[in-house]
C-alpha cells in the first residue's frame, strides 16, 4: 500500500495546490463541467491507446487550449499528468500480477516510448519498474501492518497508519466521484483503534486522519468525530477508519453513477480490506436500488421481513443482495 500512497499523494498534492490559498474568479469554469467529465471518462477507459491532447480535443469538438485549461481547472492535473498517472497505475498492476517483461508492460499500459515510461514511473512511484516488481515479490502481496497500539506500535506509528488510511479513503472518493471537487465537506470521521487496555492516546492516533482531511479540504475538512478502543479488530489490523462526506448533488440519473460507486467501494473492500463477502441491503420497495445491485453482479439472497423502519416509522422489508470472494469478484 505504501507505493500506492505515493500515487494518491500526488493527487492530493494537486488538489491542495488547486484549492487552498487560491482565489477563484467569478467567471471560472464550473467544477462539474460536462465536457471535462466526459474527457476524464474517455481517458479512464482508453488510456492504453495512443491519446494526444489535439486529437482528444477534436473528438469532443473543443479547442486544445480550452481543453487544457478546462481539464486542469476540473481535475487539478494537466492532461498529460493525468494520463501518465493512469498508465503508471496500470503498469503497477501488471508488474504485480503478470510475468510479462517490463517492455511489454510499458506498451500494454499505453506508453509507446520505453524511456518515457521509466521516467514517468520513477517520478510517480519513486522507484524504477524493476525495483518495484522486486520489492513487491520480496514483501509478498500482503504488506499490511498488524498488531496493537501500546504493544506492537507507538502512538506516532498509529498516527501514520491513520493518515495512510485516510489517503485510501480519499482514493476511493476520487475514484467514485471522479473529482474531489464534488466533496462539499467532511461530515464525520470514526476510528476503531486496536489497543491494549492501558493505552490512552486513541485520539492522538485518529489525529492522523483528521489532520489529513483538514490539509486537503481546508475549512470544509472540519468534522465531527468519534474514536473507540477495541480489544480485537479484524485480521489484527492496528485500526479501522470510516468517514462520511457531503457531496455536491447532480441530476445525472441513468448514467450508471451509483453502479460505478458500488464497484469502486467493492474494489476497496476486496483489495484493501480483504473482504470475503459483500452485501447490499435496500428497501424492498426501491426498484432502482435493486437494479443497481443487479447491474453490479450481486445476487438476491432473500428478503428480511419488517427489518427496519422508514422515515415515517413504518416497518419495511429489506432485500439482501450478496457477492462472495471467488469468480464473482472482478
Based on the fold, state whether residues 127 and 178 are members of the same structural domain.
no
What pLDDT was estimated at residue 33?
66
pLDDT at 254: 56
**Same domain, residue pair 178 and 88:** no
CATH (domain of 159): 3.30.1330.40
- CB 199 within 8 Å of CB 167: no
92 and 175 housed in the same domain: no
238: its cell numbers: 492496528
CATH of the domain at 73: 1.10.10.60
Burial letters 174-187, b for 16+ CB under 10 A, else e: bbbbbbbbbbeebe
Residue where a domain stops, chosen among 111, 139, 167:
139
The CATH number of the domain where 307 resides is what?
3.40.630.30
Query: How many other C-beta atoms are found inside a 10 Å radius of the C-beta of residue 276?
Result: 11
Return the closest-CA partner of residue 216 out of 248, 175, 185, 247: 185
Residue 311: phi and psi, rounded to 5, are -65, -20
Q: Which residues contact 226 (CB under 8 A, 6 or more apart)?
A: 188, 190, 191
What does each C-alpha distance from 43 to 37, 50, 85, 197, 293 come to in angstroms?
A: 10, 10, 11, 50, 26
- Provide the number of structural domains found in the chain: 3
**Overall pTM > 0.85:** no
Q: What angle do the packed helices 257-271 and 155-177 form, to 10 degrees? A: 150
Say what the pLDDT of residue 326 is: 65
Q: What is the pLDDT of residue 269?
A: 77
Q: Is residue 195 part of a domain?
A: yes
Q: What is the model's pLDDT at position 38?
A: 85
Q: Is residue 119 part of a domain?
A: yes
Query: Could you count the other beta carbons within 10 Å of the beta carbon of residue 25?
Result: 5
State which residues form the domain around 315.
275-324
Describe the strand order of the beta sheet including 299-309 as a list of residue ranges.
277-283, 315-324, 299-309
pLDDT at residue 20 in the model: 44
The segments of the chain whose pLDDT lies below 70 read 1-33, 75-76, 139-144, 249-257, 272, 311, 326-330
- What local confidence, expressed as pLDDT, does residue 28 receive? 37
Expressed in angstroms, the distance from the first to the final Cα of the chain is 20
The pLDDT of residue 127 is: 87
pLDDT tens sequence across 180-219: 888 889 989 989 999 998 999 999 999 999 999 998 888 8
Q: How far apart are CA 164 and CA 154, in angstroms?
A: 15
Q: Is residue 243 a contact partner of residue 190, using CB atoms and an 8 Å limit?
A: yes
Amino acid at each position: 500500500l505504501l507505493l500506492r500512497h505515493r500515487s494518491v499523494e500526488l493527487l492530493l498534492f494537486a488538489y491542495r495546490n488547486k484549492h487552498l490559498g487560491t482565489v477563484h474568479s467569478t467567471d471560472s469554469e464550473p467544477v462539474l463541467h460536462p465536457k471535462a467529465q466526459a474527457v476524464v471518462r474517455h481517458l479512464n477507459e482508453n488510456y492504453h491507446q495512443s491519446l494526444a491532447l489535439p486529437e482528444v480535443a477534436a473528438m469532443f469538438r473543443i479547442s486544445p487550449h480550452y481543453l487544457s485549461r478546462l481539464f486542469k481547472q476540473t481535475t487539478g492535473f494537466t492532461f498529460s499528468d493525468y494520463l501518465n498517472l493512469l498508465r503508471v497505475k496500470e503498469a503497477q498492476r501488471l508488474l504485480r500480477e503478470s510475468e510479462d517483461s517490463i517492455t511489454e508492460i510499458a506498451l500494454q499500459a499505453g506508453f509507446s516510448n520505453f524511456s518515457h515510461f521509466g521516467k514517468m514511473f520513477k517520478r510517480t512511484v519513486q522507484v524504477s519498474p524493476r525495483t518495484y516488481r522486486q520489492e513487491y515479490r520480496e514483501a509478498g502481496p500482503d504488506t499490511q501492518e498488524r498488531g496493537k497500539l501500546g504493544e506492537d506500535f507507538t502512538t506516532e506509528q498509529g498516527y501514520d497508519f491513520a493518515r495512510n488510511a485516510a489517503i485510501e479513503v480519499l482514493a476511493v472518493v476520487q475514484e467514485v466521484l471522479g473529482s474531489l471537487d464534488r466533496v462539499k465537506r467532511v461530515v464525520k470521521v470514526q476510528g476503531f483503534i486496536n489497543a491494549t487496555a492501558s493505552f490512552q492516546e486513541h485520539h492522538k492516533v485518529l489525529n492522523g486522519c483528521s489532520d489529513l482531511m483538514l490539509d486537503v479540504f481546508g475549512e470544509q475538512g472540519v468534522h465531527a468525530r468519534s474514536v473507540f478502543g477495541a480489544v480485537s479488530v479484524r485480521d489484527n489490523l492496528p485500526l479501522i477508519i470510516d468517514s462520511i462526506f457531503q457531496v455536491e448533488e447532480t441530476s445525472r440519473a441513468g448514467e450508471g453513477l451509483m453502479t460505478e460507486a458500488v464497484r469502486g467501494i467493492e474494489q476497496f473492500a476486496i483489495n484493501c480490506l480483504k473482504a470475503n463477502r459483500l452485501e447490499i441491503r435496500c428497501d424492498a420497495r426501491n426498484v432502482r436500488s435493486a437494479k443497481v445491485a443487479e447491474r453490479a453482479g450481486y445476487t438476491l439472497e432473500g428478503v428480511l421481513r419488517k427489518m427496519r423502519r422508514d422515515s415515517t416509522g413504518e416497518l419495511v422489508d429489506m432485500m439482501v443482495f450478496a457477492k462472495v470472494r471467488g469468480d464473482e469478484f472482478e
